[in-house]
Structure 1
Amino acid sequence: MTVKEQMDQLTDELIVHARKYYEEDAPEISDFEYDALSRQLRQLEQEYPQWARADSPTQRIGGEPLEGFDEVRHDYPMESLQDVFSYEELWEFDRKIKEQFPQALYSVEVKIDGLSVALDYRDGLFYQGATRGNGVVGEDITQNLRTIHSIPLKIDTSIPRLVVRGEVYMPFEAFQRLNALREEEEQPLFANPRNAAAGSLRQLDPAVAAKRGLRILCFNLQNAQEAGFGSHYDSLESLSALGFPVVEPRLRTSSMDEVIRFIEKAGEERDKLSFGIDGIVIKVDQLAYREELGSTAKAPRWAVAYKYPPEVKETRLLDITIQVGRTGVLTPNAVLEPVRLAGTTVSRATLHNRDFIKSKDIRIGDIVRVRKAGEIIPEVLEVVREKREGELPEFHMPETCPVCGAPVLEDPEEAAVRCTGAECPAQLARNITHFASRDAMDIEGLGPAIVHSLLRNGLIRSQADLYFLKKEDVAALEGMGDKSAENLLSQLEKSKENPLERVLYAFGIRHVGQKTAQVLARHFPTIEKLEEASAEELTAVRDIGGKTAISLHQWLHSQQGQHLIHRLKEAGVNFTQPQTQVGDLFQGKTFVLTGTLRHFSRSQGQKLIESLGGKASSSVSKKTSYVLAGEEAGSKLEKALSLGVPVLSEEEFIQMLPPDILAKQGENK
């Protein structure tokens, strides 16, 4: 078999398995086997790029981060629809259509609650993808759309150009996973799957979008008449045959009574779908009729969107319980008398935070109105004050963590109450996973699954316990064995030599990220010096604010924080920082790096600048000293020029460096 034949075979095999996994939910091989095949294909494509296919699954993992999105003018305008909220309005729509076209048929489809996009295919290959924007001009998000496995990269068609409109959405399961991960990483949660899908598609780093589990359902062929179709419904059938995931359920009928039955049935069964819908779309099916009906300035006359009313029910609030999340946030939750809502029985609902309870004056025993936010998450809307029975006591958040008993810290800016316990069991899995992560202690092989297994078997109760594990105990865990246990213990031993900045970041202290940990460790090169510093002395350090100083000081002097540090010292973990600054050439200077650098990566360039006393920033402002511009520099270069910020080429930057600095940087990679 030739190399080209091998690459074609691997590509075809991966396409089949991707379809089984992403579209049919019936995988035939494990993730490990799929990843192994994918790595094999990527390696061959790197060696023989001339034989890499446009529809290769390797196109879906995301490329280099973008500087920004280019504008795309839609050749076929992406119109919005007129909303209707009653059956009377539907009958009026039907009357107007049938007066002009008595033989009109309707194509009826569920209205997906996602983000509308246009997919442009040229000679059967996916050429470009764009957001709706204002309907006339959108944003080029081709790279992000390539990462969605349900979008075909190549189709078998003789039609030179197809422009397909679809709705990108995030399945409920993927949405819940994403919010759980964001909670772990202390990032704001997405309100609903639609916001999550929109935020994912607008990521400048396609690799981030690739991890979000996005899907698409197509609902229109924008150039259907040019492609030879006379019926919208038939064009969808053709798209389905070409491999596009097409909106389901759908119906073609001439009867408005049948349309209404479809609306009612879809409303009853909407909670069974894996994605959100917010209505039903009714369109005239015959494309020739559509052309004659035309459009108003705002919407086509040949289609309407029936919107489901939000369902709100009353029930009694039986209790308020406190859940301690993996980031230590104490979240109040309502315990409700069970009530049927949007197709499911609801007995619990989020109360968000203390300010929400106070502003709504929510008290245990109240009758409250509840709904499903975004048709998914139950939430309390308000108290039915006229139904309050007597004087009910106000609710107050606890002063100590209900899980570990550590004091809680109130954050007035975020209305959040947090457990301050460094070893709180509620946060343990998240804390240990973060402790072992690549940018922290970098303990290879200690992922979430192994962490949970160690906790489940009672082998660890804190980060420090990792360093006291015994080989025979680790080897006995499911999926491990002697060799894996040896590798893990070897990685743990290696991690003991990490500098102080990594240990500080690994602790997961609120407001202490990588950059902050680096600044602190350079200023206080031992843990003892850091512990001796007052909050005021901490804020005197450049880039350390008041909130960071208070959070760090409280953590370092808490009982659990002191215990963890003591145990890690006992295990032999390093708590000192080697001094890496070799000069002060760039002292007081701020650099922004953009574009592709040929002699070193951006992270290496940042280390070079910092080793000479400078600061690397991600955004250009009037305070920027220099912009270091590599090849294909984008919006940051344009902003620098507009602000009059000096711009350096890579060669000019290298000429500024001491003669031996690049060699030293290479040794420290």
Structure 2
Amino acid sequence: VLKESIRHFASRAGFDIDGLGPALIEMLVDRGIVKNYADLFRLRKEELASLPRMGEKSADNLVAAIERSKKVPFNRFIYALGIRHVGAFAARALAANFSSIESLIAAAQKRCVPPQTELGVLTESDKPAPGGPRPVEGTSDMFEAIDGIGAIVGASVAQYFCLPSNVNVIEDLLDAGVEIIYPEKKIAPDEALLGKRFVLTGTLKSMRRDEVKAKIESLGGRVTSSVTGQTDYVVVGESPGSKLDKARRLGVSILDEAEFLELIKSRK
């Protein structure tokens, strides 16, 4: 399992460590040189050069590749962790919606409670240490609201970060010199809508749905698919669906077509 995890971690979509192939990974793990991800960033040229079929030049090249890989884009860092159900697409979606690894962990851990007798979504092998948290079922709205992240992925992300050992993995990587490169946030023309979350329901007479979405995004807002406690506005057109009822229950601001047009008009 460790060998497969490290292959995933070092892959092109992950840390992209050039020269760290399956045979070398197997050798490093079998000899006890690499016991976790962070150990990769502590490899020394001398110990690599002493391995069969390596040599000094190959060791130099690998150490240089590992050093380069320490600076990794946020989405590739998330992907490299090997969270179940989180492929490259979901990793990009998470990276686009959280400002840092710390904020992602904090959001996931809001779904954790102290462990109970019933393990819920955790298997026995995943059981946290005494006092550690476990995921709460049925509270995935925060992640489901992100385009590309559904209930299954949201639950998997929460399960991962509810295990203290996995949070320790990230801390170890940062201690080993890994630097996460976060995407630059675009400056919106009007900060009043910057970061605001909109949900659309029903049909507007004056604009197509794709036009509404484009307009909101041009003003710094974001259109999500589900109404949650974090939704700022629900825009209501003709024949709205159940999202309107949910917005009322949650106390989310509701805009009819005229109010929405006035809002975006004042932000031009």
Band the TM-score falls in, shorter-chain normalisation: 0.5 to 0.7
State the 1:468 CA deviation. 0.9
* 2:161 maps to which of 545, 556, 572: 556
The CA distance in 1 between the partners of 2:93 and 2:185, in whole Å, is: 12
Q: Which residue of 2 aligns with 1:542?
A: 147
Amino acid of the structure 2 residue aligned with 1:526: S
- Does the C-alpha gap of structure 1 residues 485 and 542 become closer, same or farther in structure 2, counting only changes over 3 Å? same
Structure-2 change in CA distance of 1:473 and 1:553 (3 Å)? same
Q: Which residue of 2 aligns with 1:462?
A: 36
Q: Is the 8 A contact 1:436 1:442 kept in 2?
A: yes
Whichever residue aligns with residue 489 of structure 1, its letter is V
Which amino acid counterpart does residue 566 of structure 1 have in structure 2?
A: E
Q: Report the equivalent of 2:12.
A: 438
3-state secondary structure, aligned to 1:575:
strand
- Whole-Å separation in 2 of the counterparts to 1:586 and 1:448: 48
Matching residue of 2:26: 452
CA distance in structure 2 between the partners assigned to 1:511 and 1:554 by the alignment: 11
Distance in 1 separating the partners of 2:212 and 2:93: 14
Q: Per-residue deviation at 1:518?
A: 0.7
Q: Which amino acid aligns with 1:507?
A: L
Query: Where do residues 44-443 of structure 1 align in structure 2 (5 Å cutoff)?
Result: 427-443=1-17
Secondary structure of 1:553 counterpart: helix
Distance 2:27 2:212 in 1: 48
If the length of structure 2 is used for normalisation, what is the TM-score?
0.57
Could you say which residue in structure 2 is the equivalent of 1:567? Answer: 172
Distance 2:163 2:180 in 1: 18
Unaligned 5+ residue runs, structure 2? Answer: 111-139, 190-209, 215-221, 224-268
- Structure 1 residue aligned with 2:182, among 567, 577, 580? 577
Number of the residue aligned with 1:512: 86
Look up the equivalent residue of 2:155 and give its one-letter code: I
**Does the CA-based 8 Å contact 2:160-2:166 persist in structure 1?**
yes
Pick from 61, 83, 96: which aligns with 1:522?
A: 96
Q: Deviations over 1:493-545 (max 9, x none)?
A: 11111111101001111111111111111110210010111443222222210
Q: Contact 2:144–2:150 at 8 Å: present in 1 too?
A: yes
Task: Please tell me whether the aligned partners of residues 474 and 480 of structure 1 are also in contact (alpha carbons under 8 angstroms).
Answer: yes
Aligned equivalents of 1:490 and 1:548: distance in 2? Answer: 35
What's 1:471 paired with? 45
CA distance in 1, matches of 2:21, 2:177: 22
Structure 1 residue 575 displacement after superposition: 3.1
Q: What residue identity is the alignment partner of 1:458?
A: G
Q: 1:433 to 1:587 in 2, by over 3 A?
A: farther
SS in 1 for 2:72: coil
Instruction: Kindly state the Cα deviation for residue 581 of structure 1 after the two structures are TM-superposed.
Output: 5.2
Q: Quick one: which amino acid aligns to residue 549 of structure 1?
A: G
Q: How much has 1:582 moved relative to structure 2?
A: 7.5
Counterpart amino acid of 2:183?
P
Contact 2:85-2:153 within 8 A present in 1 as well: yes
Check the 8 A contact 1:500/1:525 in 2, yes or no.
no
- Residues 522 and 563 of structure 1: CA distance in aligned 2, closer, same or farther (over 3 Å): same
- Which structure is higher in helix share? 2
Q: Distance in 1 between matches of 2:212 and 2:89?
A: 17
1:1-41, Cα deviation, whole Å (9 max, x unpaired): xxxxxxxxxxxxxxxxxxxxxxxxxxxxxxxxxxxxxxxxx
TM-score, normalised to structure 1, is 0.24
- What amino acid is the match of 2:13? D
Give the Cα separation in 2 of the matches to 1:588 and 1:480: 54
**RMSD, matched Cα:** 2.4
Native 8 Å contact 2:89 2:148 kept in 1: no
Can you give the 5+ residue segments of structure 1 that lack an aligned partner in the other structure?
A: 1-426, 590-612, 615-669
Q: CA deviation at 1:587?
A: 8.4
Aligned to 2:59: 485
Q: What is the alpha-carbon distance in structure 2 between the residues aligned to residue 586 and residue 461 of structure 1? A: 51
* Paired residue type of 2:9: F
1:498 is paired with a residue whose SS is strand
Residue by residue over 1:141-196, the C-alpha shift from the partner in whole angstroms, topping out at 9 and shown as x without a partner, is: xxxxxxxxxxxxxxxxxxxxxxxxxxxxxxxxxxxxxxxxxxxxxxxxxxxxxxxx
